[in-house]
Amino acid sequence: MLAALTTPILAPVKLAACSPSACSGLLGLGASSCPGAASLESKPLFPMGTKNLWVRNAARWPAEILSVTGEGEEVSQGFVAPDVRLPFEALHGEVWRARAVRPGHVGDRRLMLEEKVGVVPLRECECPQPAFVDCQKPPYMGPRWTPDDPVVFRNDHPTPVDLFWFNGTCEEIVSWNEIGGLMPQRLKRFKSTQGHTFRVRSAADGHMLMQHTLDDLVLRGCDDEETAREREQLDALRLRAASLAHERDQLRDSLAERLNRLILALQAAPANSSSVAVGATGATALEASAAKSSVLSAGLLALPKAR
């Protein structure tokens, strides 16, 4: 009987590694980080429907927006000028990319963003626990007057969850028709509006797991990254030049030493009658040759070392 009344001890849930926006809900934290190369595979899922991608260009040059087919081909969907924000209709599972439009510049066609459209996974993050303030409103039944930005959530948490719309002051439950909460691995689709924030709470005790804001995809110029990469390349060239200069100095010193040894050997060699030819000045050909070698060697040794 005691065993039957004892509450089973559940294994602790491992908290997911979440982005800062999963707790703060601040806009713009999901901006482009300028990937070095395209790596995502596009697999459009037509039954899942469409999703709006709002792209805001914060760079100083235009960007071309491209969707990627299942075969990996990039298809242009238009251009976004600097300081312009535009929506694009995308399929779930599709990969979208943004490339810089800078003719004649080394950064032309550079990949500025790569995004795979998909559901929003619901999980537990290490978030502060804001107090729950109920808006005390009846469930919203429509009709909607704002543009529809559909979003699909998937409960990746091992227990049921409730979803709330947070207006900055209070929370209004939007998963009211899910009896007992949204069950694990279930999908939930909402008609929403860009900028809306959803809070996810445990259906059991109401503590907040995470929150999600429908945010823009922000394109950055990545000047800092380009400058850092150019600085690394310049440092590598400097190291290579210093290594070559050191190798050159070693070869020069070795050559000078060999020439000095050769001159000393020629000076120490005994003269023989067959090699002696007296010139007008009385110097032998051997001495003249040695003097010439000595002059050449002295000239080499007198050369300054380049730095």
pLDDT tens per residue, range 206-252:
999 999 999 899 998 876 555 555 666 777 788 888 888 888 888 88
> 51 and 176 share a domain?
yes
CA distance 186 to 209: 16
Parent domain of 22: 14-219
DSSP 3-state of 217: strand
> 173 and 296 share a domain?
no
42: tokens are 């596009």
The pLDDT, as a whole number, for residue 303 is 47
> 213 and 113 share a domain?
yes
The pLDDT, as a whole number, for residue 7 is 40
> 59 and 163 share a domain?
yes
How do strand 149-155 and strand 187-192 relate by DSSP bridges? antiparallel
> 138 and 154 share a domain?
yes
> 210 and 287 share a domain?
no
**Residue 116 is assigned to a structural domain of this protein:** yes
> 64 and 118 share a domain?
yes
Is the model's pTM score more than 0.75?
A: no
The pLDDT, as a whole number, for residue 250 is 85
**Among positive and negative, which fits the CA dihedral 216, 221, 224, 228?**
positive
> 107 and 180 share a domain?
yes
> 116 and 202 share a domain?
yes
Strand partners, 134: 171
**Residue 50 is assigned to a structural domain of this protein:** yes
**Residue 307 is assigned to a structural domain of this protein:** no
> 134 and 233 share a domain?
no
CA distance 265 to 239: 39
> 69 and 202 share a domain?
yes
**Residue 275 is assigned to a structural domain of this protein:** no
Could you list the mean pLDDT of each consecutive 10-residue stretch along the chain, which spans 307 residues?
41 63 63 72 86 93 95 96 95 94 91 92 92 88 79 95 94 93 95 92 95 91 62 76 85 87 83 49 51 50 47
**Residue 306 is assigned to a structural domain of this protein:** no
Q: CATH number, domain at 186?
A: 2.60.40.780
**Residue 245 is assigned to a structural domain of this protein:** yes
**Residue 213 is assigned to a structural domain of this protein:** yes
**Residue 196 is assigned to a structural domain of this protein:** yes
Domain count, the chain: 2
> 44 and 163 share a domain?
yes
Final residue before a domain boundary, out of 219, 237, 260:
219
